[in-house]
Amino acid sequence: MEQKHVLSVLVKNSSGVLSRVSGLFSRRGYNIDSLTVGRTENAKISRMTITLTGDSDVLEQVKKQLNKLEDVIKVIDLKANNSVYRELVLIKVNAKAEKRADINEIVNIFRCKIIDLSIDTLTIELTGDQSKICALVKLLEAYGIKEMVRTGVAALERGDKTIVSYDDYREEI
């Protein structure tokens, strides 16, 4: 059964790593639903959060292939019931003067921020899980979304456990 998977991947922070990881997916015909990359607390290591859709066989194959890459330090599957997922979205919406109060009410309910305004538009920022972002987008569509950008998922496991606390973590940096 196909389902959404979120992988947390520690990699060496060096040029070409992103290309090698994304190339692995394209060569094998797997699609990346979202990809977020940034440095960790160690400047020599970056963390990729990769979301993909597939069955358990696809997930295992992707994990095995990622672990074969020289730049990959660690790969873990972040389970939804034991992890925190967040995404950032910026939405520029049509906002004539007579509609601004209605839009502002939606912004307050969703605990968003209005980060820019012009005569005819508002730009709204929201951080949340996928369902919260989708609900906001659906409501704002009625006003006319002019432009939108989403970051992709950033995720961490809940509690005290960290990616480096897994037994098979190897420090190579």
Could you tell me which residue, 103 or 160, shows the higher pLDDT? Answer: 103
pTM: 0.85
Q: Which domain holds residue 47?
A: 3-77
Which residues on adjacent β-strands are paired with residue 101? none
CATH number of the domain bearing residue 94: 3.30.70.1150
Alpha helices in the chain (DSSP H): 17-27, 56-68, 100-109, 130-140
* pLDDT at site 162: 87
| Mean pLDDT for the chain overall | 92
Contacts 24+ apart (CB under 8 A), 96-100: 96/120, 99/143
In a domain, 166, yes or no: no
In a domain, 161, yes or no: no
Q: Are 61 and 24 in contact (CB under 8 A)?
A: no
Please check whether residues 72 and 17 belong to one and the same domain.
Answer: yes
Q: Identify the residue whose tokens are 């012009």.
A: 118
Per cent of the chain over pLDDT 90 is: 87
Inform me whether the pLDDT recorded for 114 exceeds 70.
yes
CA-nearest of 66, 88, 69 to 77 is: 66
**Average pLDDT of the residues in 115-129:** 97
CA distances from 19 to 12, 37, 49, 63, 69 (A): 13, 12, 15, 17, 12
